[in-house]
Structure formats: C-alpha cells, structure tokens
Amino acid sequence: MSRVYNFSAGPAILPEEVLKEAADEMLDYKGSGMSVMEMSHRSKWFQGIIDDAEADLRELIGIPDDYVVLFLQGGASMQFANIPLNFALPGSGVADYLVTGQWSKKAFQEAGRLITANKVASGEDDNFTHLPDCSDLALTPDAEYVYICENETVHGLKFHTLPDVGDRTLISDMSSCFLSEPIDAGKYGMFYAGAQKNVGPAGVVIAVIAKDLLPEGDIAGVPVMCQYKTQADKGSLYNTPPCYGIYICGKVFKWLKAQGGLGAMKERNEEKAALLYDAIDRSDLFKGTVVKEDRSLMNVPFVTGDPDLDAKFVKESAAAGLTNLKGHRSVGGLRASIYNAMPKEGVEALVDFMERFELANK
C-alpha cells in the first residue's frame, strides 16, 4: 500500500489514524459484534457515538449551551434552500447575501428562488480575486439575516475578519475552514459545514444554530425534513441519520483533540499555508490568484499563466504522488487544498516538486 498526498478540495484527505481505526472496527465495533454501518440508529451503541461526537465538537469549538448541534444530510446545497426557508418567511422574507465566490453565489441564487435575497456586496466584477469592501455594508432594514461563505473553496478566499453586521444575525457557510482554527461561536446565528472537507466523508452536514433562531411552529409548505426544528427536537434522530459518516466525524473530532485542539490546528495550518504561499510568491513561474490579505489557509489556487504548462504540472505531480492539484474549472490553473489532515510533509513535498518543476520548465 502506498498512500498519496491528496490535495483534493473535497471529498478530501482524512487522518490516516482515523482510517486505520475505522478499518480495524469494520466488522466488530468495540465488541458489539457488528459494523457501525449495521447498527440501529436507536441502539445504545450508536447513541454513544453521536453523543460523543456532539460533546467533542462542543468542547473543540466552545459551543454555548444555547446552540443546537445538528447532523444533517443533503450537503451545503440543501442548506442553501433550508436557510431562507427556516429563517425568512418563504415567499415574502428578505435576507442579505455577501457574494464572494462560487459558493456564496450559489447560496444567493437558491435563496433568490425562495425569498427576496439582496446582494449587498460582491467580488464578482474582479472575478473573486479579493473580498469586497465590507466596512460599511448597506444592509437591508428588514433583512432577517446576513449570509457569508467564510472560506470560498473554489476561489481560495477567506474572511480573516468577520464583516460588521451590527446586531443582525450572521449565518456562515464554514464548509472548507471548519475546525481549522478557533472561532467565537457566539458571533453567529448559525454556522454549518459539509463534512467532506475538514471533517469526514461526504453525506454529513454539521449545523450549529442559536436555539432562539429556530422557528417555533410548523412552516407551511416546507418539507418537514427541511425544517431545522425537526432534527433539533429529536437530537438529529428524527429519521435514520448518516450513521457511518457521523462515526467518522466523531473520530476526527477525537483526533483534533489529540492534536491539541483548534489553536494548535491554526498554528499548523498557518505554517503549512506560509510554506506554500511563500513558494508561490518567490517563484517566477507560479502566481497566486488571490490578494494576499484575503488568502485562504485551506484552498490555495495558483496558475502558471499557461494552460498547457498547468496541465503538465497536474500530470507530473500526480505521477509523483501529489494528486488532485487541478484547479476548479471556473478558475482554471492549479489548486492545492491543505486541510487539517494534510501533514506538513505533504506541503513540503509539493513545494519541493514545484521548485523542481520550475527549474525543468524555464
């Protein structure tokens, strides 16, 4: 067996220790005589798994008691609809969106089908190479919430400071920066993440929502499964949850605690990102696509400026065991996603390869 350094934007690299444990427990989870995949979600075994996962996540982030933690399905794409349907009146409600890359744009578009969604800032005119000025946002007076994508996976942008939304409810898609650094949970009305970037396998969404934001009654015309209260009332067990994915997420949470928690991850992630961005900045061949102050620590897009050379880089790097470095089709070029589970050695190997590639292609 030979493991590669996998720079995929998601689904993405997972800690090898987690995968080894999962393999060891595949046929018999801790003496239960069955795989976690085979367990009733109503069993004490699975209840222990989901309870532990929630407790570890609460401890890692420091989630206040007046927030619920939900394990959901449907990806971020499903939340793009659920958020307006839960937090603004379907049909007539209003919300503000900051459009800073592909994912916030998609969220804005879906909200616009269901409520009145106002674009109060956009980086699209500059092809999402920097964040728009958020120092004096013209928020809509009756907007129910302000929506951001905190780290744009495709375009490689990160809000290093949250936009000032005053006393408005801030809702954040954290999919690609989730658990990569400490956050102040209390600043958000809701934050959520698709698991398949920093946390686990695809098919699980983790949502953290202030309890007083949850609608109290049934929302007419909205599927019961799209109402956050449905799962909030039942500890994410209204129906059968994606049990195995939650189990893997729980293992990643324990792994993060063993690494020293989110403060330690932030240090490691800053160190890894600096290694890669420094290599890009000192190169004559590679160029970063995002202004320095808005660069993501997780998703690093860069280009040579020559699509043929980009393609050659993708091919040769893959042959060298550095995989999934092709940029997203909407940006082109190259992209390295260096999530929590990417070891520093992986980034060093990439930098080393980039230097050799540059020398060979002068």
Q: Which long-range contacts (CB under 8 A, 24 or more apart) does 327-332 make?
A: 327/301, 327/303, 328/9, 328/102, 328/154, 328/301, 330/102, 330/154, 331/154, 331/155, 331/156, 331/289, 331/301, 332/303, 332/307
Among the residue ranges 55-63, 110-118, 151-159, 257-265, the one whose residues contact a second copy (CB under 8 A): 110-118
Instruction: Give 233 or 267: the residue with its C-beta nearer to a second copy.
Output: 233
Q: How many Cβ atoms from other residues are within 10 Å of residue 292's Cβ?
A: 9
| Non-local CB neighbours of 196 within 8 Å, separated by 6+ positions | 10, 11, 12, 202, 203, 204
CB of 9 to a second copy, least distance (A): 7
The binder of a second copy chosen from 19, 264, 320, 349 (CB under 8 A): 19
Helix or strand (DSSP H, E) at 68: strand 67-72
* 361: contact with a second copy by CB under 8 A: no
Among residues 197, 229, 272, 326, the one annotated as catalytic is 197
At residue 342, φ and ψ (nearest 5 deg) are -80, 115
Handedness of CA 151, 156, 161, 165 (dihedral sign): negative
The binder of a second copy chosen from 47, 58, 60, 77 (CB under 8 A): 77
Q: Which of 162, 179, 160 is nearest to 171 (CA)?
A: 162
* 91: contact with a second copy by CB under 8 A: yes
Query: Could you give the string, one character per residue 222-251, with x where binding to a second copy holds by CB under 8 A and - elsewhere?
Result: -xxxx-----------xxxxxxxx--x---
Among residues 56, 96, 158, 173, the one annotated as catalytic is 173
Apex 86 CA angle, 296 and 188, nearest 5: 40
Answer for the pair 323, 3: CB distance below 8 angstroms, yes or no: no
Q: Among residue numbers 163 through 202, which ones bind a second copy (CB under 8 A)?
A: 194, 196, 200-202
Residue 69, beta-bridge partner list: 208
Instruction: Give 104 or 168: the residue with its C-beta nearer to a second copy.
Output: 104
Q: Which of 314, 280, 283, 276 is nearest to 297 (CA)?
A: 276
* 47: contact with a second copy by CB under 8 A: no
Instruction: Give 67 or 247: the residue with its C-beta nearer to a second copy.
Output: 247
The binder of a second copy chosen from 33, 48, 62, 186 (CB under 8 A): 33
Instruction: Give 321 or 332: the residue with its C-beta nearer to a second copy.
Output: 321
Instruction: Give 38 or 348: the residue with its C-beta nearer to a second copy.
Output: 38
Per DSSP bridges, beta strands 116-122 and 94-99 are: parallel
* Spatial distance between the Cα atoms of 34 and 47, rounded to a whole number of angstroms: 15
* 132: contact with a second copy by CB under 8 A: no
Among the residue ranges 142-150, 152-160, 269-277, 317-325, the one whose residues contact a second copy (CB under 8 A): 317-325
197 as an active site residue: the answer is yes
Among residues 56, 96, 103, 229, the one annotated as catalytic is 103
CB of 133 to a second copy, least distance (A): 30
* 13: contact with a second copy by CB under 8 A: yes
- Report how many residues bind a second copy under the rule CB under 8 A: 73
Instruction: Give 27 or 55: the residue with its C-beta nearer to a second copy.
Output: 27
Burial class (CB in 10 A: 0-12, 13-18, 19+), 318: middle
Which residues have a catalytic role annotated?
103, 173, 197
